[in-house]
Amino acid sequence: MSVLAAMLVALAGAAAGWALARRRVAPSLAPGVGPQMLPDPALEWLRRAYGAIGVWVAELDPREEGPHAERIVDAERLSVAQIASVDRRLERARDHEQSGAERMEGGTLVFHAAAGTAVALLLPEGFDASRIGLVEADLRRLLDGVRRRPQVVALAQSQSHEASLESTGSVGLRLAYQLERVLDAQVIVAATEAPSEHAPDGGLPPLAPVRVVGVSGRGDRRLLDTVVPEISDLARVARGEAPTLTMHGDPLGGVVADRRQSPGTVMLWPVLVGDLAFGAVAMWLPGGREPIGAALAELTEALASAGPRLARALEADQRTAHASSDRLTGLANRRKFDELVAQAEPPRGPRPGALVYADLDRFKLLNDTLGHPAGDAALMHFARIIQGQIRTGDIAARIGGEEFAVWLPKAELEVGARIAERIRIKLGTTPWDWNGRPWPLSASFGVAACPETGRTLRALPAQADAALYVAKNSGRNRVERAGK
């Protein structure tokens, strides 16, 4: 057994506390203190096992503020310039998913990268080259452990709650990891959310959206929380429109280019409660072999157990959504929007971002001419346009009758203005009609940003509203920047 294989159990058990605190130098061991008491036990164990000068972890997680790195080095053997050189090399390896070994000033860097994460050991001069293979194997295991850490932490946190309080994400992650263990397969779990209560543009109600809520350790975490296309095979099985499927190709409809997704056989099974589907699992089978015997029995039992738990979690999510979402458009309501934006202003100071206010032009005329149902349909149409043009991580809300707001984290003023202009053009060039009667839609926009127009986030709403007022009084159907 390799060095790291023996300690992976400890890594999983300590994952909730192993937060990768960005330290530069490892503390020395105090007498009587075992390595399990250190903040980063697995990294320090690995460094000492090979007598390495340093160990690195570099991650790029779309749900984080940006790239971040962890390193534990022997500061007496490396200069600041040498550390920075390794940092830069590992960033390139992470971004291009490179693996290998190369000579650097101070030693030999062995590195391995996949799906936005890279790990490395800097080995000293004279290291036994015959052991490089062992180092590479342990780095692959470390990389897998690092990539699993968020899921392991989420699972550990959820274990303190009753099953009835499980979140949708907790159910999805548990099921994905259980099936990965049973089938030795990559697994994705999707859940069927409640459809909109209103028909778009006077037509039939939209299909229930299907969202990825669980990804096993071998999958791509970028898939989490994505909504798959409604015509994809995974969505059809999750809504109960198709039975169990075994297929080749992409069951997700190309929602994310998953670089870790296997090109072989994928099996789709619904997650049922009785005859009702509440979600589905996609399982990429090793060698295309479908499960039989004990594996098939455990797969069936796992899905039967997950069904009621997923249904309860989805029901709880729906109750929460009703309290924080606009019932007509499905966007965040004013209260929820204010809460989410307030989270962007921590005690140490506000994070940069842009605020866009939008208002449908001549909405009263539309209501008076076509009726209130037509007005509701126009608002839903505008909401879909907004959702389709903003970035992942942006927050859209309906904050008044025909008034909308979008918070763009980390966006500068000009970026906010460009996105507002994109929404304006899309709305104006997308035909809309009510019961066969065409009606041109347009909107006016006001944009403010921190720190360009305001030093605090609290200043932005008044600035964006003032810019919107200027747009309304300057001919409508335009984007105005605060302070311009």
Q: What single string gives the DSSP state of each residue in 55-115?
A: EEEEE--TTSSS-EEEEEE-TTT--HHHHHHHHHHHHHHHHHT--EEEEETTEEEEEEEET
Q: What average pLDDT score do residues 270-294 get?
A: 90
Q: State the average pLDDT over residues 246-259.
A: 75
How much of the chain is in helix, strand and coil states, percent to nearest 5?
40, 20, 35
Q: Which two tokens stand for residue 220?
A: 């791509």
Handedness of CA 332, 336, 341, 346 (dihedral sign): negative
Measure CA of the first residue to CA of the last residue in the chain; give whole Å: 66
Strand segments (E) across 249-380: 265-273, 276-284, 353-360
The pLDDT confidence band at residue 70, using thresholds 50, 70 and 90, is: confident
Q: What is the pLDDT of residue 358?
A: 97
What is the Cα–Cα distance from 42 to 61, expressed in whole angstroms? 21
Say which residue, 100 or 233, is predicted with more confidence.
Answer: 233
Cβ atoms of 210 and 251 within 8 Å: the answer is no
- What is the average pLDDT value for the chain, to the nearest integer? 80
Looking at the predicted structure, is the pLDDT value of residue 411 above 80? yes
Average pLDDT over residues 35-58: 68
Model pLDDT, residue 257: 52
Q: Is 402:363 a contact under the CB 8 Å cutoff?
A: yes
Q: State whether residue 345 is helix, strand or coil.
A: coil
Could you give the C-alpha distances from 75 to 78, 106, 116, in angstroms and in order?
5, 12, 27
HSE-up (13 A, CA, CB side) for residue 51: 8
Single out the residue of 3, 102, 120 nearest to residue 52, CA to CA: 120
Please determine, for residue 232, whether its predicted confidence score (pLDDT) is greater than 80.
Answer: yes
Q: How far apart are CA 406 and CA 174, in angstroms?
A: 34
Cα 334 from Cα 328, distance rounded (Å): 13
Nearest to 375 by CA among 352, 398, 409, 355: 398
CA distance 365 to 348: 46
* 462 pLDDT tier (thresholds 50, 70, 90): very high
69: Cβ–Cβ under 8 A, 6 or more apart, which residues?
22, 56, 57, 58, 59, 87, 90, 91
Q: How is domain 334-481 classified at the CATH fold level?
A: Alpha-Beta Plaits (3.30.70)
Between CA 158 and CA 165, with CA 162 as vertex, the angle to 5 degrees is 75
Q: Is the dihedral of CA 321, 327, 330, 331 positive or negative?
A: negative
Residue 267 · residue 248 · CB < 8 Å: no
Look-up: residue for tokens 């310039």? 81
- Residue 235 tokens read as 């969505």
Nearest to 137 by CA among 287, 286, 6: 6
| Domain spans in the chain, listed from the N-terminal domain onward | 40-158, 168-320, 334-481
Beta pairing, strands 227-228 & 395-398:
unpaired
Express each pLDDT in 15-40 by its tens digit: 333 333 333 333 333 333 233 323 35
* Topology alike, domains 40-158 and 334-481: no
The string of DSSP letters for 192-218 reads EPPPPSS-GGGSPPPPPPEEEEEE-TT
Identity (one letter) of the amino acid at 97?
A: E
Average the pLDDT over 422-443 and give the result.
94
Token representation of residue 67 = 């790239």
SS3 state at 403: strand
pLDDT of residue 148: 64
What is the rounded distance in angstroms from the CA atom of residue 1 to the CA atom of residue 8?
12
Please tell me whether residue 321 adopts helix, strand or coil conformation.
helix
CA–centroid distance for 21 within its chain:
22
In the three-class reduction of DSSP (H, G, I as helix; E, B as strand; rest coil), residue 274 is classed as coil
Could you tell me which residues are beta bridge partners of residue 284?
186, 266
Q: Are 134 and 98 in contact (CB under 8 A)?
A: no
Q: Letter for the amino acid at 371?
A: G
| Helix and strand numbers, DSSP H then E, in the chain | 12, 18
Q: Cα(168)–Cα(473) distance, rounded to whole angstroms?
A: 46
pLDDT digits (tens, 9 = 90+) for 326-348: 888 889 988 888 888 887 666 56
Structure tokens given for 469:
């007022």
168-320 folds as Beta-Lactamase (3.30.450)
Predicted confidence (pLDDT) at residue 423 exceeds the cutoff of 50:
yes
Is residue 353 very low, low, confident or very high in pLDDT (cuts 50, 70, 90)? very high
Q: How far apart are CA 462 and CA 471, in angstroms?
A: 14
Identify the burial level of 347 via C-beta atoms within 10 angstroms of its C-beta, where 0-12 means exposed, 13-18 middle and 19 or more buried. exposed
Top pLDDT among 272 and 153 is at 272
Topology of domain 40-158 in CATH is Beta-Lactamase (3.30.450)
Q: CA dihedral in degrees (217, 219, 223, 224; nearest 10)?
A: -20
